[in-house]
């Protein structure tokens, strides 16, 4: 069962697509958001959740005070499910804006004119490192100066090529088979 961990919608159960997604575990989300909250990176943030799946990362951000979340998912059934999950979170009193975009992640980033403060890039494990690099390069000019980018990949995956995208590595943390890499714009 996937749920919103904390904030205004804490405890709200989220539906998860029956196939084609790999939801971030509650344990990993709890650790991730604990670190984000302690660095004051969520409250008031404009969030981008790429490969959103159930929308758990973007919706957790809204529950914790983000002002908006763009949730990007190519799968039509998953995008429909994210809309339902967003409505549940809104019904729990969350006031931030959730916008669901049914689109390819790279295409969405390249076409967007928005600016984001916090980005979650959680592609399926079979998405190539080259595709991740393409998305990071597309994101770089669309980030606020103090933005944080979180890339979630299999532990066996190579670290993102931050430098090629004009970004820099911040830190990484491994949880079982999952590694979270943190990046940011060059100072």
Tens digit of each residue's pLDDT (9 = 90 or more) over 30-88: 999 999 999 999 999 999 999 999 999 999 999 999 999 999 999 999 999 999 999 99
Report the sign of the C-alpha dihedral through residues 5, 70, 118, 93, in that order.
negative
Q: Which two tokens stand for residue 34?
A: 């604990």
DSSP classification of residue 12:
-
Cβ pair 130, 160 in contact under 8 A: no
pTM above 0.85, yes or no: yes
């Amino acid at each position: 069962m996937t749920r919103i961990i904390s904030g205004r919608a804490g405890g709200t159960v989220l539906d998860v697509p029956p196939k084609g997604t790999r939801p971030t575990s509650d344990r990993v989300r709890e650790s991730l958001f604990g670190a984000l909250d302690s660095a004051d990176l969520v409250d008031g943030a404009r969030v981008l959740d790429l490969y959103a799946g159930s929308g758990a990362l973007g919706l957790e951000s809204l529950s914790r005070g983000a002002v908006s979340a763009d949730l990007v998912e190519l799968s039509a059934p998953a995008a429909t499910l994210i809309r339902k999950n967003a409505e549940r979170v809104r019904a729990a009193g969350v006031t931030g804006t959730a916008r669901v975009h049914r689109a390819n992640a790279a295409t969405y980033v390249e076409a967007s004119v928005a600016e984001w403060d916090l980005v979650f890039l959680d592609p399926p494990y079979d998405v190539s490192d080259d595709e991740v690099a393409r998305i990071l390069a597309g994101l770089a000019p669309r980030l606020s100066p103090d933005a944080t980018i979180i890339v979630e990949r299999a532990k066996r995956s190579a670290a993102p090529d931050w430098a090629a995208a004009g970004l820099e590595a911040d830190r990484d943390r491994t949880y079982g088979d999952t590694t979270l890499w943190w990046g940011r714009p060059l100072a």
